[in-house]
Structure 1
């Protein structure tokens, strides 16, 4: 299940792409499959990284098996040189990290001038309902520790030297699913309503039927669970070059 839209975040052959806080590898693997790029996923959770490596195995291409790398690292202190990456994805990460400003500074440091950044966080109002329905949802270890105001976060990212160019929302059909999980938190693993809804989401992911795909597109601006924002490091000229498939300056 992708949150980033690659039409808004175009990749070019030869790019070095960082999936920061990659979890079980959903974006890092898809980046690897999009173009002939070097895709590097980093996360602090070693168990998630092992899962990502296992999930990646069937997708590795014989002529470039070493262009998808998973590495353990702290997002507040990345083990990469300045300007190491052409593109960075940071999806559903900042809400988990106490010093998220340190993460933004590291992103600005390791991204090349003219590079593209995609950041996603939970949208405020669906997230507030989850917090209202269940204390456990946001008190669990490794859970969400803040609710972002999208405009405020956008301004904070711009203060790091980024130019904002696009936003959209994603995963509207997942908002009710999480509300149900929060409402029935203690019995969510056995609740028949939650199980049925989950089967529908899996069916939607695998089969991509017209009905649910269209419904989600209609509902995303209203109740999309994730806010997705895109930036370029530097000027609007750099953005035009990137989106036209030219080399970054």
Structure 2
């Protein structure tokens, strides 16, 4: 389930990509499949170990070109261990809402993008997220949970303040918003609730089968209740 548009980012053979806060690695895997040189970056060692296993399995199964490179790196998004302008594409999907010092994280993301390169940032969208917070404290008030709700224009201004040019905004995962509202209403940890289980089966079926009906429905609903907002930026070239 991708939140970032890789065609818009022009990720392809030889593109140097870092997925900051990669989590389970979904965006890093997609970049690797496209032949990019990928760094899956996170502070969670257990997640990175799983991502590394998947990179190895993808290589063994020829799911990525032989020339593509992929590695996992553990570290802090507030202090990325890279020089200025090292990456063609920087991805930060669903991480800034977890970071108390988000201005520092944004500065680091902007710093490592090369001139002419792209930054894609996604966060939970304001309205669906506000409903989740209203329904359940447990949804966000926990260790490592969400510490803020962004308005898209607020986040856009934070990023452009670091010299990047705003390019585009998109929305994703509208079918996931009602699922999380339901979980928040019945209890975030109550995965055995019959309604939650039924909706989860629907989402899994949709992700695995991608039927035209649900894909079209989600595309139409994304502008209204998309769970995530994706913002795209370019770092201007130096003249």
Deviates more, 1:187-196 or 1:72-81: 187-196
* Distance in 2, Cα, partners of 1:55 & 1:17: 17
2:86–2:112 contact (8 Å) kept in structure 1? yes
Show the counterpart of 1:242. none
Alignment of 1:18-29 (within 5 A): 18-29=18-29
* Distance in 1, Cα, partners of 2:39 & 2:197: 34
Unpaired runs of 5+ residues, structure 1, are 239-248
Show the counterpart of 1:15. 15
Does residue 37 of the first structure (1) align with residue 36 of the second (2)?
yes
Show the counterpart of 2:159. 157
C-alpha distance after superposition, 1:167-187 (max 9, x if no partner): 110000000010111111165
Cα RMSD of the aligned pairs, angstroms, is 1.7
SS in 1 for 2:54: helix
Moved runs in structure 1, 4+ residues, more than 4 A? none
Show the counterpart of 1:139. 141
* Distance in 2, Cα, partners of 1:186 & 1:131: 11
C-alpha deviation, 1:95, in angstroms: 0.1
Does residue 119 of the first structure (1) align with residue 121 of the second (2)?
yes
Show the counterpart of 1:246. none
SS in 1 for 2:165: strand
Q: What TM-score comes out, normalization by structure 2 length?
A: 0.94
SS in 2 for 1:119: strand
1:8–1:166 contact (8 Å) kept in structure 2? no
Q: What TM-score comes out, normalization by structure 1 length?
A: 0.90
C-alpha deviation, 1:12, in angstroms: 3.6
2:174–2:226 contact (8 Å) kept in structure 1? yes
C-alpha deviation, 1:65, in angstroms: 7.6
Change in Cα spacing, 1:134 to 1:113, as seen in structure 2 (3 Å) is: same
2:33–2:65 contact (8 Å) kept in structure 1? no
Change in Cα spacing, 1:112 to 1:178, as seen in structure 2 (3 Å) is: same
SS in 2 for 1:7: helix
* Distance in 2, Cα, partners of 1:220 & 1:189: 25
Show the counterpart of 2:55. 56
C-alpha distance after superposition, 1:53-88 (max 9, x if no partner): 233333124863871111111000011111111110
Show the counterpart of 2:215. 213
Change in Cα spacing, 1:139 to 1:37, as seen in structure 2 (3 Å) is: same
Change in Cα spacing, 1:13 to 1:65, as seen in structure 2 (3 Å) is: closer
C-alpha distance after superposition, 1:149-174 (max 9, x if no partner): 11011011111011111111000000
Change in Cα spacing, 1:186 to 1:83, as seen in structure 2 (3 Å) is: closer
* Distance in 1, Cα, partners of 2:69 & 2:20: 16
Show the counterpart of 1:128. 130
Change in Cα spacing, 1:63 to 1:119, as seen in structure 2 (3 Å) is: closer
* Distance in 1, Cα, partners of 2:189 & 2:15: 45
C-alpha deviation, 1:4, in angstroms: 0.5
Alignment of 1:173-192 (within 5 A): 173-185=175-187, 188-192=190-194
